[in-house]
Structure 1
Amino acid sequence: MGAAALIATPGNAGRPRPARAGTPWTGTWATAATATPAEFDADCTVRQVVHLSLGGDAPRIRLSNDYGTEDVRVGEVWAGLRAGDPDSCAMWPDTIRPVTFGGRTGVRLPGGQHRVSDPIPDLPLAAGADLVISFHLPERTPAGTVGPQAFQRNQLLRGNLAAAPFPSGGADLSRYVLLAGVSVRTRRRGSTVVAFGDSITCGSNTTRGANRRWPDLLAARARAGGLPVGVLNAGIGGNQLLAGPGRPAPAARSRGNGRELDQGPAGLRRFAHDVLGQPGVSQVITLIGVNDIGHGASADALIAGHRQLIRRGHAAGLTVVGGTVLPFGGSVHDRDGHLAVRATLNRWLRESGEFDAVVDFDAAVRDGTSRDRLWPGYDCGDHLHPNDAGMLALASAVPLILLG
């Protein structure tokens, strides 16, 4: 089994930084979007379930067309607490509320932009609750902004069933579509922690509907400790820190449930959007680099990339916490000296003193007898991604003192 993970508190921890502007809203859920297009027929309803990390009231919904090139018209938008089992997209009738934008029931999302809703009145949300966000698409919709794999059943229905409490039928959606985030107003001043990474952070190979991604489990630990902290998941499957694919061609569009490997923009490119742009953000925890190593990136290049994240986070007033890269011996990335690159990068992460703190995710999940491999009890089977138990080990490696 992996050794107990330790936290390092390097010299940068005391560095004075500019204070971030206060905001009455704190992020409670988010997804990192990509430019993998999807197309939806006219007159359909998209219902999506999000698991809230932080409780509060007056929630605001952020819809995004940031990666789209065409304007999108969203009709009625409704929100309510999820009813039923983990695969349900139903809403308890007495919690269903209309969502407005500038007082209007619908909203147009210009290409390359996003919109934040008005605060939703009379909808208090408990920490750990599941919120259904349901909207009608009256027109054929080229949705150019799609979140990574949701590991949550979402629903696509014919007709306008946005406000229906218990709709049946429809098709499953495994992604988040045109939906970027939820923020809440808290009684105690809250703060937002962003988990920034790849498929390991996104939750690959975790149980659908169980919310066992490591950021979810870290949020549960924070709640148990009484900390008013929102934990946002900015992980994208296949994402690299240094490089990213170009925009997919129109021919690559799917019918709403595409399974392209949407690696997303390079981490360095999306950091401003997915981290610095989150409401109430005060801290980022990075866990990124394994896909760069798999594509041949050098340790020097990855160190330079991480230094850019540190500089940009500090300039924005954030605490920047580095996470060591997990073992991948025996996986598809285990070739061409890649394990040595990981070792060099992790040594710098632990010893450089350039982060405000370091969480040793590697030590939390590695095999005690083969340090380049995941402990078998934490391995989903591909020797790269942790299973549900491994995700809990990652979440448990983050000391709550970092979030307080």
Structure 2
Amino acid sequence: QSKEYAEPEWYADIWLVVIWLVYFALYLRTLARRHEPHIYVANWYYMAFILVVAMLHIVNNLALPVSLRVAESFPIWSGVQDAMVQWWYGHNAVAFFLTAGFLGMLYYFLPVRSGRPIWSYRLSILSFWGIVFFYIWVGSHHLHYTALPYWVQTLGMTFSVMLLVPSWASAGNAIATLNGAWHKVRDDATLRFMFVAAVFYGLSTFEGSFMAIRPVNSLSHYTDWTVAHVHSGTLGWVAMIVFGAIYTLVPQLSGREAMAWPRAVEWHFWLAVGGTLVYIISMWNAGITQGLMWRTYDQHGALSYSFLQSVEAMAPYYLLRALGGAMILTGAVICALNCRATMRATPMTAEGADRPLGVQPAE
């Protein structure tokens, strides 16, 4: 459909809705069969993730098929309304696909791995409702300096800044949970993945709120600074909590006390952190360089640099970007091989295999 983040045609959109409804039914059925009457806040995030992504997908992809024989359709939205709905969808896909679901993972796996209860359960609920309410309004900050009405742009900018409060509440809640368990963070690379994820979540949400401010956006928009911001979230936050969850789950599901190659987990951690830093710092520099070159004028009021010159200036930054990406990829391959070795290894005794998730053997 030539829409960013929403390429599938109408027949694929319908099939995606069917798949998602089946997923939702499985999730509800799992909740219904629980023995614990209380629903922990991690499940609140999973529920929001499923429901809101479904709503976003349906509304953004409302279209009129040309015919049943032709795989082509026209969106019911047009012009600036289409752009506004698209970014309402696009930014909230990040909010509820790449944030809510992974916050659910953080709120579950971090206390399990650290052996500490969440620092403030009440704060986790308050931050949940703050994120759910504020995030849904911020998509228009992608459309600063466009034909979108000025008040809608300002609304998106304002809610983006306000979003910093519940976002940092979640990041701070996670870090405060580790009080009394910092020795485990030092010694356990899996827990370190989760700690770094919480730190990057706090950093990337601050950066997002900062970039939504109109004067900052005038420099950052359409540049690789946006690429840096997105990847500080996906590589630094989402990927780190995923790796932490994998290294917690795989030994338990394989009936083992730990990963088959513990040193490989350490190697993976440093490759992932180092690669992410190289990647996003190079893209930060690239984006700011682009923004400054595009707005530099000479004494006659003409642009000082051509667009081609700004592209050529990116060469060293893109080389560093490739290096950072290679480091991250190498770590992911090590993780996959380590998981394979762990699942193929001889399991421990039945007594150890029955140990609840996250409970470590006695010294």
Q: Which has the higher helix share?
A: 2
Instruction: Provide the TM-score with structure 2 as the length reference.
Output: 0.30
Q: Tell me: higher relative CO, structure 1 or 2? Use CA pairs within 8 A at least 6 residues apart.
A: 1
Bigger CA radius of gyration: 2
Please state which structure has a larger fraction of its residues in strand: 1
TM-score by length of 1: 0.27
